[in-house]
Amino acid sequence: SAVISQKPSRDICQRGTSLTIQCQVDSQVTMMFWYRQQPGQSLTLIATANQGSEATYESGFVIDKFPISRPNLTFSTLTVSNMSPEDSSIYLCSVEDLAGGGETQYFGPGTRLLVL
Amino acid sequence: TQLLEQSPQFLSIQEGENLTVYCNSSSVFSSLQWYRQEPGEGPVLLVTVVTGGEVKKLKRLTFQFGDARKDSSLHITAAQPGDTGLYLCAGAAGAGSYQLTFGKGTKLSVIP
């Protein structure tokens, strides 16, 4: 299975600022995913990030609010822009498991964001 | 839109008891995954089931995929405090889609 790291692990931010979250994988993967997990809730997919193309956003999420970069096959960033307290969540990146046919995903440890 | 209903939402049991968590949908999934998430961590994959009727065992955990591939269950035998966590099921639609649909999760507390 892939080993995934995220930076920062947690942060406390002021309203109106932006935070960029990094996701690093120890092997090359085609697809990386970004999820949001609000307190006490399950996971909601924000977007799918493929190398060499623009990210694909799910309903309710827009590029201006959550710009994503995918410069190579082992790295991606998610920016949470113009933050409000409603953005306080855990943000998780995941990658496809190619050995498992691509339908299984492995997750990073998450970034815990608190917006004041 | 595919939905996964997970039950129960909360479960608090004594050490040594058995429990079952259910994941149900009206949609067919090409595969279904079970994850466990502990506080402060990301979800960790426990198992992937692919074939209708499939049963997989992982020590004290038994996973079953329904014959019609619309539902799944997780049974834990003789629960231990280390089993405490949030259990999530996630279904893959298949047909070239790599997106997962997650259930709302079952928060399990095993009391020593």
- For residues A9-26, average pLDDT: 97
Interface test with A, best of B37, B87, B89, B104 (most A CBs within 10 A): B37
CA pair distance B1, B35, nearest whole angstrom:
21
Structural tokens at position B17: 């008891």
- Which pLDDT value is given to residue B79? 97
A100 — pLDDT class (breaks 50, 70, 90): low
Model confidence at B96, pLDDT cuts 50, 70, 90, reads: low
Q: What is the β-pairing status of strands B106-111 and B10-14?
A: parallel
> Residue A81's CB: how many other CB atoms inside 10 A?
16
**Band of pLDDT at residue A101, cut at 50, 70 and 90:** low
Which residue in A4, A42, A89, A90 has the most chain B C-beta atoms within 10 A of its own C-beta, making it the best mutation to test that interface?
Answer: A42
Query: pLDDT tens across A44-82, in order?
Result: 999 999 888 889 999 999 999 999 999 999 999 999 999
What are the tens digits of pLDDT across the range B32-85?
A: 999 999 988 999 999 999 999 999 999 999 999 999 999 999 999 999 999 999
Residue A98's pLDDT band (cuts 50, 70, 90): low
**What is the C-alpha separation between A83 and B98, in angstroms, rounded?**
29
What is the percent of chain A where pLDDT is above 90?
A: 78
Gap between the Cα atoms of A40 and B60, Å rounded: 26
Q: Residue A57: which of A78, A38, A27, A75 has the closest Cα?
A: A78
Q: Is the CB of residue A92 less than 8 Å away from at least one CB of chain B?
A: yes
Task: Using DSSP, state whether B31 is helix, strand or coil.
Answer: strand
